A and B are shown apart, each in its own frame.
Chain A
Amino acid sequence: MTNEYRQEMKTCIEKLLKEKPAEEALKTAVEQVFSKALDESIVVGESIESVVYEVMEGIDESLAEEKKKELYLHRASELILDAVHHKILEQLCRDEKNVLRAKAQLHETLEEGTGRLQAAMEAFRHYAEDKHRMKLLEDLHKTEQKTVELIHHLAEKFRYNKYKT
């Protein structure tokens, strides 16, 4: 559907102009129509260029009678940029939250994994003691060393700080 945003913006501003001064009408219309258009364009993969162009055309046409039209068009461009900026911020905040959540998960998995290796080590000790496996008990220091090496390997490969942005 071509020019849908142009028409929507035009209709919206013309309606608002009956109740509000031009600047206010413009602000409300950008908030209502452009923000919706921006959301939709992200979902359907429409270029921001075509959406902005259409919306500007709608504003231009609806303010045909206004003496300060050029001024309002400039104001509209600022409002549109603010809306785009706001949307990017929202998206970045969401992404940042996901990154933090993933970092915390990584840390948790690392701690949990280290705990499992240590628990396995403890189990060998208990087993050797319970069952009087003296050779196994003697060799435990080697197993202990291996456990430390494996824990160190995990920490090196996936240490929490490595993923700091």
Chain B
Amino acid sequence: MNEQNAYYEDACQILEHASLFKGVDRDTRCSMVSECQAVTWKKAETLNPDISMTYLYIILEGKMKVTQVDPESGRSVSLFLLSSGDIFDTFTLLDGKEHIVFPIPMSNMKLLRIPIVRAREWIREFPKFNEAFLPYLGEQLRQLESFSQSLVFHDTTTRLANLILHHTGQHPDEQEGHYPVRLINNLSHESLAELIGSVRSVVSTQMQKLKEEEIILSKRGKLVVKDLKKLMQRCDVFCKGKI
């Protein structure tokens, strides 16, 4: 992508705030961007499960979920919710092996793509990028650890409370004092269930309970947290009790 491309400046700017590019100076970052191709994915677009075999994708705008589906039962689990600054797919970037997953764009997305072979060279070629890449990888591993730990140790109520808490912003809305929830605030109960390894009916019941207890509520059709303290207590109490 050359400097005249409409995406170029935006991409350089967006990636400045991405943890993956933390500490990478502007010149290096922009030169990395210039090596990439700009691509767009439409919301709900069907993508090939092996899309990550040849390219690494860097998300500039929008969000996507990375899902595994059991062909026998049709049940699915969403392992990652990726948004601006995230990459897809870390697994193939690391080992180059086939990794069949179902990436689903949850909004219109703008991305950069770079041949995976070249992306691996980046890690060796740019020490600052390498420095930032390791903590990013660590964060993803922790996320997976937390997910599997939660599946074993926690009940659905706690898992759901943890999921909401994980995506809740720290600063309340000035007017009404509600805490915004990012990324998962407009998801269906079925989708939330995929993220905590449960089923829709259970999540619907638990969401209703959290609403009745005035911990969460729906604002303009989207999920917000009304009582953060109670939500945190809900996570703490249950976690301590179960581990």
- Which of B90-98, B99-107, B121-129, B137-145 sits within the interface? B99-107
**26 A–B contacts, CB within 8 A, in A order:** A1-B61, A1-B62, A1-B107, A4-B43, A4-B108, A39-B44, A40-B43, A41-B188, A44-B106, A44-B107, A45-B65, A45-B104, A45-B191, A47-B186, A47-B188, A47-B221, A48-B188, A49-B218, A50-B185, A50-B221, A50-B222, A51-B221, A52-B221, A53-B222, A54-B221, A57-B220
What is the CA–CA distance of A44 and B187 in the complex, to the nearest angstrom? Answer: 8
What is the CA–CA distance of A105 and B90 in the complex, to the nearest angstrom? Answer: 42
Candidates A39, A46, A57; contact of B186 at CB < 8 Å: A46
What is the CA–CA distance of A45 and B108 in the complex, to the nearest angstrom? Answer: 14
Residue with the highest number of chain A CB atoms closer than 10 Å, among B106, B185, B190, B218 = B106
Q: Write out the residue numbers on chain B whose beta carbons fall within 8 Å of the beta carbon of A50.
A: 185-186, 220-222
**CB proximity to A under 8 Å, residues B187-242:** 187-191, 194, 218, 220-222
Number of A-B contacts (CB under 8 A): 58
Interface residues on A, range: 10 to 19
> Is the pair A46, B221 in contact by a Cβ cutoff of 8 Å?
no
Residues of A within 8 A of B (CB): 1, 4, 39-41, 43-54, 57
Q: Write out the residue numbers on chain B whose beta carbons fall within 8 Å of the beta carbon of A48.
A: 188
Interface residues on B, range: 20 to 34
Task: Return the CB mask of B106-118 against A: 1 if under 8 Å, else 0.
Answer: 1110000000000
- Of all chain B residues, which has the CB nearest A44? B106
Given contact pairs A1-B43, A48-B188, A50-B186, A43 touches B104 in the complex (Cβ within 8 A): yes
What is the CA–CA distance of A57 and B222 in the complex, to the nearest angstrom? Answer: 13
Task: Return the CB mask of B58-90 against A: 1 if under 8 Å, else 0.
Answer: 000110010000000000000000000000000
* Smallest CB separation, A42 vs chain B (Å): 8
Other A-B contacts than A46-B191, A49-B186, 10 sampled, CB-CB below 8 A, are A1-B108, A40-B43, A44-B44, A44-B107, A44-B191, A45-B104, A45-B188, A46-B106, A47-B188, A50-B186
* Smallest CB separation, A6 vs chain B (Å): 10
What is the CA–CA distance of A43 and B222 in the complex, to the nearest angstrom? Answer: 18
**CB proximity to A under 8 Å, residues B152-195:** 185-191, 194
Across the A-B interface, give the 10 residue pairs with the lowest CB-CB distance, nearest first.
A53-B221, A45-B191, A50-B186, A43-B44, A50-B221, A1-B107, A40-B44, A44-B106, A47-B188, A49-B221
